[in-house]
Amino acid sequence: MSQSKKILTIKGLSIAFGGLKAVDDLSFHVNAGEIYGLIGPNGAGKTTAFNCMTQFYKPDAGQVIFNHLQGEDVDLVGKKTHDIIKLGLVRTFQNVELIGDLTLLDNLLIGAHIAYQTGLFANAFKLPKARREEEEMTKKALEILAFLGIETKAYELAAGQPYGVLKKVELGRTLMSNPKLIILDEPAAGLNDTETAELAKLIKEIRETYSCTVLLVEHDMRLVMGICDRICAISFGKKLAEGTPKEIQASKDVQEAYLGKEASSNA
Amino acid sequence: MNFLKSRYLTYLLIGVVLASLPFLNQMGVIRSATVTTFGFIVFYAIAALGLNVLLGYSGLISLGTAGFMGLAAYLTTHFTGEWHLHFFASLLLSVLIPTVIGIVVGLVSLRLEGMYLAIATLAVAEVSRQIFIEIWSWSSLRPPAVLLLQGLALDRDGMYLFIVGLLVVLMMLTDNFIHSPVGRALLTMRASEAAAQAMGINLFKYKLMAFGIATAYAAISGVLYAHFIRAVDPSPWTLLLSLQILAVIVIGGFRTITGPIFGSFIVFGVPPLILNQLPVIGDIPGLAFIFNGALIIIVILFYPRGLVYMGQDLKKLIKRKEVKSQ
């Protein structure tokens, strides 16, 4: 079964800002088809690690080995930020980066940017090829919007939509690129309990329907413990523990660094 | 699809209204100076249409518009006057050369952002103006009339209709690529560079493309200027003109196709056609600049998206009133 195949392997990833080691010799791997969680308290270096994987930051040391769409292993370090999505790895943003003055449909079409073959001239003159391409992509985007349950809003502007809808649109946008691995940056941030539950269900459905692997960097323990197959907990840029949600919950280190505080503050 | 058709219809309608002016002049309803003023309005609108792709859609500022316009005006004067090239060959070359120069400038300067890019493009424009003076001196050159076919020379009205036709075509082409992956990539880049990169949009490539488009439109505008006014000298291609074209977009509306036409009418049309005809205040020197300056301040304060959105907002307001009254 391909379940045990490694899709993403992080080896000795390190990055420092000035003297501060934000991520320090971090190593873990994600298997194909799993939902993997990267957790840690505030300032643990989760988002920094995330940005190193997607090449928004250039790590000082380490490797990010990704098994790309054609099935070969490549090191993402040193690749251009805008080339990462072509390999089959796509990300979302913590604060939702959508285009307010475009419709939800158009926002999804942006996700298909790399799939378009036609350029400026073909589109300016509306050549048949450009029309056909736009029709195909629109069809696909509408299907994804239907999958997300927001197809009735397809032609509404993104500006002014509820946060829950925007989060869904951002997820939908990642699906437009036929990704192998989706990395979600704190998908539950800003969502209420009902929306978070809905999101958990949606992430699972995405894995089943679009057969992708999901890596989520998350703060919200209920989401992580509820849907992740395996979890890596980090603190001060270093790995504390790795394992199933139960193992992580049982880990003394993790409790000290994160869950202990979280539990007392939640109570 | 119907929505798209209705947008095309708007552009055609604008074209038809503009194209009717020479005939109104022949019927004696308006003066021929009015037609000339509208010629200015239309080719400046073309330059503004291109600049809007750069400024409105991709969020970059260029103050080089006038420089590239001037370059194209001089080139076409030289190609048609000295080398006797056919107008269309000259149009192609006079647009291609500034565009290539523009892209080279972009290759160097697009690593700069905001004000720095504006200053860099301003420098390029001022340098080109000095080059015009060096090569062609201050004297005024006389570009020949446009010969569409052998023996079919366009008079001023004919040239005016040609310019209006080109404006309509350019509006449609711009509309097409703005509502395509290219336009969406530009918009994404402006809204969030991070999101653009994550979606595989090569920022530099699209900045360069937007810069190239703005330059090409400015060059088209310059060529039309030369053959419509039929007098080219170094005096118009200054920062003032670049700023006026910027004002066209600010007043007319960002990220719209019809905004630049509307804005161009206000900036280049209202002062000579209306303000200067008024008694007493019509004689104030520099009235156009006072008017435009005041208007920019008012628009930025109260209507930052531009006046072209007024129509939409009015419609919404009326609808809301209707709903309320029911």
pLDDT at site B207: 93
Compare CB distances from B173 to A84, A102, A124 and report the shortest one's residue: A124
Return the axis-axis angle of helices A193-210 and A163-175, rounded to nearest 10°: 10
pLDDT at site A2: 43
- Of A86, A80, A63, residue with least CA distance to A180: A86
Instruction: Supply the mean pLDDT for chain B.
Output: 90
Q: How many CB atoms lie within 10 A of CB A9?
A: 16
- Of A8, A22, A41, residue with least CA distance to A238: A22
Is B4 an interface residue toward A (CB < 8 Å)? no
Is B108 an interface residue toward A (CB < 8 Å)? no
Q: Which sequence spans correspond to the domains of chain A?
A: 6-98+179-266
Backbone angles phi, psi at A32, to 5 degrees: -60, 135
- Of A76, A95, A164, residue with least CA distance to B192: A95
pLDDT at site A262: 47
Compare CB distances from A99 to B180, B187, B202 and report the shortest one's residue: B187
Q: Which CATH class is domain B36-325?
A: mainly alpha
Compare CB distances from A110 to B176, B199, B203 and report the shortest one's residue: B199
Return the axis-axis angle of helices B239-252 and B114-136, rounded to nearest 10°: 140
- A109 and B184 within 8 Å at the Cβ level: the answer is yes
Q: Is the pLDDT of residue B5 over 70?
A: no
- In sequence order, what E strands does B119-179 have? 147-149, 152-153
Residues B28-35 have a mean pLDDT of: 90
Q: What is the pTM of this model?
A: 0.90
Mutation target for B interface from A97, A114, A121: give the one with most B CBs within 10 A. Answer: A97
Instruction: Kindly list the residues from chain A whose CB atom is less than 8 angstroms away from the CB atom of residue B192.
Output: 93, 97, 99
- B198 and A90 within 8 Å at the Cβ level: the answer is yes
Is B220 an interface residue toward A (CB < 8 Å)? no
SS3 sequence of B271-312: HHHCHHHCCCHHHCCCHHHHHHHHHHHHHHHHCCCCCCHHHH
Q: Is it true that domain A6-98+179-266 has CATH number 3.40.1170.20?
A: no
- Contact between B222 and B91 under an 8 Å Cβ cutoff? The reply is no
- A123 and B177 within 8 Å at the Cβ level: the answer is yes
Instruction: Kindly list the residues from chain A whose CB atom is less than 8 angstroms away from the CB atom of residue B214.
Output: none
**Which H/E stretch holds residue A20?**
strand A20-31
Instruction: Kindly list the residues from chain A whose CB atom is less than 8 angstroms away from the CB atom of residue B187.
Output: 99, 101-102
- Contact between A67 and A88 under an 8 Å Cβ cutoff? The reply is no
Query: What would the two tokens of residue A109 be?
Result: 């079409």
Query: Residue B4: which pLDDT band, with cuts at 50, 70 and 90?
Result: low
Q: How many residues does chain B have?
A: 326
Place of tokens 């475009």: A102
Is A98 an interface residue toward B (CB < 8 Å)? yes
Query: What would the two tokens of residue B183 be?
Result: 């336009």
Q: How far is B190 from chain A (nearest CA, A)?
A: 9
Q: Which sequence spans correspond to the domains of chain B?
A: 36-325
pLDDT in tens, chain A (267 residues): 444 689 999 999 999 998 888 999 999 999 999 999 999 888 888 889 999 999 999 999 999 999 988 888 999 999 999 999 999 999 999 889 999 989 999 999 999 999 999 999 999 999 999 999 999 999 999 999 999 999 999 999 999 999 989 999 999 999 999 999 999 999 988 888 898 999 999 999 999 999 999 999 988 888 899 999 999 999 888 998 999 999 988 888 888 876 555 444 443
pLDDT digits (tens, 9 = 90+) for B170-225: 999 999 999 999 999 999 999 999 999 999 999 999 999 999 999 999 999 999 99
- B201 and A126 within 8 Å at the Cβ level: the answer is no
Q: Is the dihedral of CA A143, A146, A152, A157 positive or negative?
A: negative
Residues B244-265 have a mean pLDDT of: 93
pLDDT digits (tens, 9 = 90+) for B124-180: 999 998 998 888 877 778 888 887 777 778 888 999 999 999 999 999 999 999 999
Query: What would the two tokens of residue B58 be?
Result: 């991709």
Compare CB distances from A114 to B180, B200, B213 and report the shortest one's residue: B200
Compare CB distances from B195 to A97, A123, A130 and report the shortest one's residue: A97
pLDDT at site A3: 44
Instruction: Kindly list the residues from chain A whose CB atom is less than 8 angstroms away from the CB atom of residue B198.
Output: 54, 56, 81, 84-85, 90-91, 93, 97
Q: Please tell me the distance from the alpha carbon of residue A97 to that of residue A42, in angstroms, as a whole number.
A: 21
In percent, the amount of chain B with pLDDT more than 70 equals: 97
Is A119 an interface residue toward B (CB < 8 Å)? yes
